[in-house]
Amino acid sequence: MTPRARRRLAVAALLAAALVVLAVAAHRPALRLIGRALVVEDALAPADAIVVMAGGIPTREATAAGLHRRGWAPVVVLSNDFTPDRVRELIALGVRRLDSQGESRLVLEKHGVPPGAIVALSVPAKTTEAELRLVAEAARARGWRRIILVTSPEHSRRAKLVWAREASVGIEGLVALAKEDDFPGDGWWRKRRQAEAVLHEYLGLAAIYLGLSKYLN
């Protein structure tokens, strides 16, 4: 990352942190609004594929499997989340059997998705931007016209925004939420995981508008 990019990313981090600090200082309705503003969900329509966005195992996989069982799309796509060296070492030692994509495949199969209906992308991606770019490339190669993107509620707005920027013209992306995720719950700002997720997502949105989203997952 260049010095200029680091400075811009630092500004984005400060803006996101300032937003959360101001919200904490405000009243509860404002905090609820900040959480809910991250959430977007589209009306479903028959699609060519259901895409399980990386992260959030097993709830995203379970949701995607349910959509597949109900006939919304014939195949389920697994993106290839980048595997850190430490995880590769654990796999090599036999401490861990599968990488994240392998685990996602297993969860899908446990939820009734046939192996032949699973499309696993081979190229790993570190960021949401890179992930959806690879999904768009796969969609173009297969002639898909509409896909369903399954992600967690707090990640949904950023996923939809990135898809709109990365997808080729004519490929519609519908966002479906992982149903077992309880975000945004009342008092999310008191729950460490949810508070961190909100800060991360607003930082990600700021990075998109500052042209730095390739540096964030």
Sequential pLDDT tens for the chain (217 residues): 666 666 666 666 666 666 666 656 556 777 788 888 899 999 999 999 999 998 878 999 999 999 999 999 999 999 887 555 555 554 455 545 555 777 888 899 999 999 999 999 988 888 889 999 999 999 999 999 999 999 999 999 999 999 998 776 789 999 999 976 667 666 787 788 888 888 888 888 888 877 765 556 6
Looking up tokens 């796969």 gives: 138
Q: In this predicted structure, what is the pLDDT of residue 19?
A: 66
Domain map of the chain by residue range?
3-37+184-215, 49-177
- Could you tell me which of 149, 87, 76 has the C-alpha nearest to residue 109? 76
For position 117, what pLDDT does the model report? 97
pTM given for the model: 0.80
**By the 8 A CB rule, do 147 and 48 touch?**
yes
pLDDT of residue 97: 55
The chain-wide mean pLDDT, for the chain, equals 82
The third-level CATH classification (topology) of the domain covering 49-177 is Rossmann fold (3.40.50)
Give the model's pLDDT for residue 166.
Answer: 77
**pLDDT recorded at residue 95:** 47
Question: Each residue of 51-95: pLDDT tens digit?
Answer: 999 887 899 999 999 999 999 999 999 988 755 555 555 445 554
